[in-house]
Chains A and B, each alone.
Chain A
Amino acid sequence: MARNKETLVVLLDASVIMRPHLHVALQSLMSATGVVVQLMFNKADEVGLVFFGVADTKNDLNKELGGYENVVVSRPIAIVDEDLSKCLEDVPEGTVASDFLDAIVVGIDMIVKKLAQGKKGNIRLSLITTTENSIRDPDTGTVEEQVDNIAKQMSEQCIKLEATIVRIGQQTPFLDSKTQQKNEALLRRFESQAQAEVSIMESSMSLLGAMKPRNVTPTTLYRGDLELTPSMTVKVWVYKKTAQEKFPTLKKFSDNAPASDVHATREVKMDTDYKSVDNPDISVPPEQRTKAYRYGRNYVPISTELMETLKFKTEKGLKLIGFVPVSAMRRHYYMKEANMFVPEPGHTKSILAVSALARAMDASHQVALVRCVWRQGQNNVVLGVLTPYVATQLNRADGFYFNIIPFADDIREYPFTSFNTLPEALQPSEVQQKAADNLVHMLDLAPAENREMLQPDGTMNPILQRYYNFLHARALNSEADVPPIDEALHSIVEPDPELLSENSFAIQQFCTQFPLTPNFQKEKGRKRFWRERVKDEEVPLEIKDEAAMDVGPISFSSLVSKQVEEVGITNPVQDFEVLLARRDSSEWVPKALQGMKKIIDDLLDSAYSGNTYEKALSCLCALRSGCVVQQEPLEFNIFLRKLATKCQGKRLNDFWERVVREMITLISRDEAPDSDVGSEEAAAFLTSQREALQEEPQDEIDEMELLLGEAI
C-alpha cells in the first residue's frame, strides 16, 4: 500500500552525555521503527539512521561541501529489514561535540536526494538528543536565522520533525543549563514554523514510549453535518482518538502434516455444526435455522428477515440534543474508546463555528450531548458527549473529543453501604486520615506543570513490546524463551523506587497507621476448592418433607434469631447446634450435617502437626450427638468409617488414635433404632479396625467408592 508508505530518518545523539540512555533510546527505536512489526506486516516503510556526536564523520555533505563533522550516516534510507537492527546494535564511538542542527541538515539532504521532488507521503525526521552540547555558530547570520532557513526548507519539502529531548535523572553539575535552554528554544522555534513537535522525556520509560510504533493511516468514521438545530449545521469529520492496539490473534497450529512438508499451511479449520436434537447425525443447513429469543419460560423464534423488517432503523446523521454542565457528566459514564470531531479541513465557516462552540463550552463549563448515527441504516444509535478541545498551537483547529455514554439500559443500580453510616470502629481516625492525606499529597506523579510521570500518551504497552521481542527472538531461534519485560518498562508495573525513597516517611506513616490484617481463611483459592468439593460430593439437598412446613407457631429461640446459615470455620460446633435448632425449614438439618462433615475434613486436611485435632475432635463429638438427636445414625456411621479409612495408617493416624482413645464409636441401635450396627459391633469397630489394619495395610481406597458401597 503505497499511500501508507513512510519515510523516516532517525537522528540519534550518540555523544558521551547521551551514552547512559542510549540503550533505552535504541530499544525505543527498535520498537519505533517497528522492525519487528514492519516485517510482520510486510510494510515497505523506509528508514535511515544517522548518529551524531560521534568521533567519526561519514556523510555526503561532508564529502561534497566539507563541514558537518561528527555526523555518521549509519544506514542510508532503505526499506526496513533485519540489517537495521544490526545497525542499531553497532553504535559508533561517541564524542563530546554534538550539533543537532548539522544532523538535521544531513537528514534533510538524505531525504531530498532519495526522494523525487514533490513526493507526498509521510516524511519524518526523528531527533533524539540531550541538547546538552552547544550549537556551533554559523559562518553568516545567527543560529536563529539558520533555524528559520532550515524550517522553511522543511516545510517546502513537507518534512515533519519530531524532536525528543532526553533529560533523564538528575542533571549532571558540569552542564551549563543555559545551553539546554537555548537549544530547547531553538527546537521550539521549529514548532512555530514547520510541522514540528518537541517533547521532553524525563524517564527511560517515557523515552521508550516516545515514538509511536505504528502509524495508522487516518480514516474517518463519519464525514458530514453535525446538526446543531434543524436550521444550523456544521461540517465535521470524525476520527478515532484512542483505539486499543490489540494483542495479535495468532492462527491455530496443526502439526499433523509431516515436518518435512515445506508447503504445509499448518492451519486449522474450525467447523461449527448445528445438529437437531432428535437426530444427531444430521446437521441442519443454515437456511433451516432460526434464532429464538428467550422470553420467560419460552423461546420465541423470530426469523432474521422478520427481525430485519421490524427492527429499529436510523438515518445517518449527528444531532445535538443539548448542553449539560460538565459536573453532571461523570467521568465513569465514558464507555468506550474516544473519538474526535474536527471541523472539515479547509471549510472556514465550520472551523469558525466549531472554534466558537468549543471555546464557549470551555468557558461556561458545558458539554454537549449528541445523538450519532455514523452510517446509513445502522441498527442502533449512539449517545455521546462532546467535550471541547481548545488548541494551543496556532496551526491546529479547535475540535471536540467524543465519548460514548450509557443509556438508562446500560446502568446497573446496586446499592452500597454509605461510608458515613459505618460504625465508628471501621472509620479512619483523625490521625489515620492525616496519614492518608499526607500520602496522597506526597506521592505526586505530576509535581509540576509539564512534568507528569506515567502519562498515558508516553507510556508503552509492555505486553506488546514483549510479544514483538519474543516473536523476533523465536524467529531467529525456535528454542528462544519468553524474554523478561524490558528494564525500562519495569517502572510501569512496579512502584517507582525513586518515588518510594523520596517519600519513605509518608509511606511508612501510612503503613503503620493502618493495620491491615488479611483474613486468610476467607482466601479465594481455598474457598473455590471448597465449593468444588461440595459439588463433587454433595447430593443436592431438596426438601422432600413437606410436612415440615409446620403451620403452627414457630418458636423464636435466641439461637434462631441469629440466622446462622452455614457451619462456619470459626465456631463450628455452635453454628452446627444453631442450625439443628432451626425449624423454619427441613433443609437445615442435612445442611448442618453436611457442613459439619466438611469442616471436619477440612480441619484434618489443613492439619499441621496436629494443631487442628482438638477442634476436629470436638466437632466430631458434636456431629455424633447431633446425629443421635436427629435420628440420623447412618449419616454419622458412614462418615466415621470413611474417616477411619482416611486416617488409619496414614498421615492422620495420630488423629485416629485420639478418636479411639476418646471412644467415639459408631452409633448403635440402642441410641438410634435406624442404625446399621448393634452396640457391641459399634464398640468393636474401633478396635477391629485397628486389628484389620495391622493385618494388611490397605491401599488408598477411592472415597467415593467406599461411600457408595456402604450406602447400598
Chain B
Amino acid sequence: MDITGRDPLFDDDEEDPELQNQSEFVASKEFLVYLIDAGAEMLLPFDTKKGSFVQVSYLQSVLEAVEENLKQRIIGRDDKVGICFFNTIQKKNIQEANGVYVWSELKDLSADLIRSFSTLHENFQKEVGSQIHRPAGARENPLYDALWVVQAMLRSGTSKNVAKNVMLFTNNDDPFGDVDASVRQDMRRTTIQRAKDAQDLGIGIDLIPLSRPGEDFNLAIFYSSILKMEVDDEDGAQYLLAAANKFEDLKLKLRKKLYKKRTIRKMKLTMVGGTEIGIRTYALVRPSVPASHVWVDSRNNLPLKTERSFICYDTGALMAEPLKRFEEFQGKKVVMALDELTKIKNVTNVQLQLKGFKPMKCLKDYHNLRPPTFIYPDEEAVQGSYAAFIALHRAMLQQNKFAVAFYGSRASSQLVALVPQEEELADGLQLEPPGMHLIYLPYADDIRPTEKYHICSEASVPRASKEQVEAAAAFINKMKLDSWSVFDISDPAMQRHYAILQAIALEQEEESLLEATDTTLPDSKGIMRANSAVQAFKDAVYGPLHDQEEADAAAERAKGSIASQKRKAAAEVACKEAQNYDWGELADTGKLKDLTVPELKLYLTTHKLPLTGKKELIINRILTHLGK
C-alpha cells in the first residue's frame, strides 16, 4: 500500500469537490517572531528535571526548543519567521535601538535558516552577546525597543489571511527591577502602551515565561498587563502551567502537516417538515499524506512543467479533452455525454435530508466507508440554527440515538448517519468538539456476506466454553492499555518520511534517521506482565501440549510428505551408487553408451537433472552437464 495512495471515492472523471478542497487546504499562514531574552538571567542554568549532569542555560534550552519548533513548523505550514534577541550587547535593527539584535528578518522558512540557527548557540556570545550589566542610569529600554522592532518586522502582509504573532521567551518577571524608580514608572507605562499598540495592529503576543528554580514566574509584577489579563493567583498558576506545556510542545518531535480550520461545505440540513438548519462541515479526521512533490530535472534540479495531451487512438490526431465517454456493452460502444453522467448521479437537490432516527446499536461496526465529516451549526446562514441543532443534539444524546439522512452531493450521494458528539474537555482543552459526525453508510451493494464465507455445512462450529471465555477475559484484563488516546500513536511511515526529508535538507548525518521509534509496536513490558495470563489462556484454548504439538508438526513439515521422503531416500541411494562410476572418464572414452539407462539415470538423479527422454538424449544431457 503506497502511503500516498488515497482511495478514490467514486472513480470518475469529475473530481470530488471535497478532495479538491483538501488540496486547497493551503494552511493558514502565520508570521511569527521569536523574541528571545538574552539577558543575564537567561544564562542561569536551567533546571533540567531529568537530573542530567550537563547543565544547560535557559538561553540554550530556548534555542534548542526554537530549533525543534522550526523543524516542526517547516513541515507544518507556510509560515514566515523572524528571530530577534533583546538585552544584547550587539545591536542590529533598522531602528538602531540598543540592546536589540535581529538575527533573522521575517522570511520564509528554509533549510539554510535552520542549519545556521542550529549552530548559533556555539558562538552566540561572540556574535550577539548577552548584556550582563546594565549601564548605570541608562535610559534604554530593550524590551520596549524590541517590541517596536518586532512590530516593524511584522508589518508586511495583510492581516486578513495571516496570523501575526510574537513568541516572547524570558525568565525575568521584572524587566524594570533594576531601573531607577524615577524612570521605572514611565518605562513601564510606555512598554505596556507599545505592546497594546502592537496588539491593536493584530499582532498577538504570546509569552512563554520560564520559572527560575525555586520561584515561580510572577506575572503580576509586569507581564499580566501586557497579556491583558487580570491575574489572580489561580489564573496565573494555570497560565504558567499552560505555558510550561507550550514550551514542552515546542520540542515535540511529531512532524505533522497542519491545516487551517476551514469549512468544507456550507449546507442545510433539511428537516422532515421541510425547515432547514444551517450547518457547516469540517474535516477532523483525514489520512495524512506526505507534503506535495514536484518533478525536477535531475541534471539541474530545475522544476519541470507537465503537459497533458489527448490523442485519438484511431487517427493519432491531437484533440481537446473529450466530453463524451463510452462503455463496451454487448460488443457495442454505448456513448454517454459527461452531463448525462452527472445527471445520473444527481438524484436529489436537497443537500442533507433528514430521514429519521435509530438507536445507536443499529449502527454496526462495518457500516463505514471513509473518514467522517464533522458538522456544526451555522447561525450565519440560518437564524435559529444553533437552537434547533443543540436541541436535536441533546435529544439524540439523551435517547442514545443517531439520525439517518440522505447526503446529496455531486460526487457521491448516499445515506449517512449523524452521530451526536458531546463536548469533552480535559484540563480546559477541548478533546472532542460538540457537534455531529457524519458517517457515510454503505449500500447493500457494498456489504459482503463475509460471515457466511465459511459456513460449516454439517455440524455446528466449535464455540469457546465458559472456562475458555473466562481465561480470555483474564488475558484481556492484563493487556488493557491505561488511558489510551488516539494521539499516542503516530504514523511511523509518515514520521520516517519527514525525518528523511529533514536529514537530507539539513544535511544531517544518516544516523539521525535511526532514532525514531515505532510507536505502533506493542509494549514489551506490558506483555511481560501478562505472561501468566497468556499462558493460562493458551492452555485453556490450545491445550497444555500445544507447543509440543506445534513443534512436532513443524518437524513433520520439515521432513515433508511421505512421497517426498521416499524420493529423498531414493536420491540418497542414487548418490551413493553414482559414486561408483567415473563419469568423466566414461564420457571421455565414449563409454557412456555402454551403460544401461537405469545406470545413466543415477547420474541424472544425483545432479537433479530431468530423467525423461531416450538413451541418446540422456547421454547428451550428461555430456552437456559435464561440460563436454
Contacts and interface: CB of A to CB of B under 8 A. Distances in A.
A535 interface: no
A475 B329 CA distance: 7
A417 B335 CA distance: 51
A268 B313 contact: yes
A351 B461 contact: yes
A442 to B, nearest CB: 9
Contact of B11 (A247, A268, A395, A436): A247
Interface residues of A, number: 218
A151 B271 CA distance: 48
A139 interface: no
B472 A290 contact: no
B445 A357 contact: no
Tier of interface size on chain B: 35 or more
B492 interface: yes
Contact of B314 (A40, A265, A333, A485): A265
A57 B347 CA distance: 42
Interface in A128-160: 155, 158
A711 interface: no
Nearest to A265: B313
Contact of A302 (B266, B364, B479, B501): B501
B460 A394 contact: yes
B283 interface: yes
B472 A359 contact: yes
B275 A342 contact: no
B358 interface: yes
A50 to B, nearest CB: 24
Contacts of B275: 510-511, 514, 516
A261 interface: yes
B131 to A, nearest CB: 24
A670 interface: no
Contact of A517 (B382, B444, B497, B502): B382
Interface in B82-115: 107-114
Interface string B488-504: 11111111110011101
Interface stretch (B36-44, B171-179, B223-231, B426-434): B426-434
A357 B469 CA distance: 7
A61 interface: no
B5 to A, nearest CB: 9
Given A371-B521, A412-B283, A290 B298 contact: yes
Interface string A260-302: 0100111111111111111010001000111111111111111
Contacts of B156: 543
Q: Which of A230, A252, A391 lies at the interface centre, i.e. has the most chain B CB atoms within 10 A of its CB? A: A252
B105 to A, nearest CB: 14
B444 A250 contact: no
A383 interface: yes
Given A252-B310, A394-B460, A453-B356, A310 B500 contact: yes
B592 interface: no
B450 A398 contact: no
A276 B293 contact: no
A463 interface: yes
Nearest to B419: A331
Interface in B352-373: 353-359, 362-372
Interface stretch (A89-97, A495-503, A619-627, A682-690): A495-503
A268 B312 contact: yes
Nearest to A349: B542
A143 B443 CA distance: 37
B183 to A, nearest CB: 19
A270 B12 contact: no
B388 A248 contact: no
A419 B366 contact: no
A274 B455 contact: no
A266 B413 contact: no
B286 interface: yes
A470 B488 CA distance: 50
Interface in A423-480: 426-429, 432-433, 435-437, 439-441, 443-446, 452-464, 466-467, 470-471, 474-475, 478
Contacts of B288: 407, 409-410
Between A250, A349, A518, the greatest number of chain B beta carbons within 10 A of the residue's beta carbon is seen for A250
A420 interface: yes
A195 B457 contact: yes
A272 B197 CA distance: 54
Contact of B256 (A409, A458, A517): A409
Contacts of B247: none
Given A244-B369, A437-B399, A496-B355, A585 B335 contact: no
B193 A355 contact: no
A125 interface: no
Interface in A203-254: 209, 212-214, 216, 218, 228-232, 239-254
A649 interface: no
A495 B348 CA distance: 12
Contacts of B476: 323, 357, 360-361, 364, 366
A295 B369 contact: no
A518 B278 CA distance: 8
A363 interface: yes
Contacts of A255: 324
A295 B77 CA distance: 10
A275 B307 contact: yes
Contacts of B11: 246-247, 249
B358 A508 contact: no
A338 interface: yes
A340 interface: yes
B379 interface: yes
B284 A414 contact: yes
A581 interface: no
Nearest to B157: A543
B306 A408 contact: no
Q: Which one of A209, A266, A311, A452 has the greatest number of beta carbons of chain B within 10 Å? A: A266
Interface string B324-349: 11111110111110001101110110
Given A239-B450, A436-B388, A419 B369 contact: no
Nearest to B152: A549
Nearest to B436: A332
B309 A271 contact: yes
A301 B408 CA distance: 42
Interface centre among A298, A416, A459 (most CB of B within 10 A): A416
B484 interface: yes
A505 to B, nearest CB: 11
Contacts of A338: 365-368
Interface stretch (B45-53, B59-67, B315-323): B315-323
A495 B460 contact: no
A399 B319 contact: no
Contact of A296 (B110, B423, B480): B110
Contact of A408 (B254, B259, B502): B254
A554 interface: yes
B471 interface: yes
A273 B307 contact: yes
Contact of B434 (A292, A419, A440, A496): A419
Contacts of B348: 493-494
B490 A462 contact: no
A403 interface: yes
Contacts of B304: 274-277, 284, 289
B413 A463 contact: yes
Interface in B453-480: 453-464, 468-473, 475-477, 479-480
A253 B324 contact: yes
B383 A519 contact: yes
A35 B439 CA distance: 32
Interface string B392-418: 111110110101101010000111000
16 contacts: A241-B366, A268-B322, A292-B295, A295-B111, A301-B296, A310-B500, A345-B454, A355-B464, A359-B472, A407-B490, A409-B288, A409-B491, A437-B399, A445-B404, A496-B355, A508-B273
Given A228-B475, A240-B450, A296-B109, 9 more contacts: A232-B537, A293-B290, A338-B367, A405-B486, A406-B285, A408-B488, A459-B415, A463-B344, A507-B272
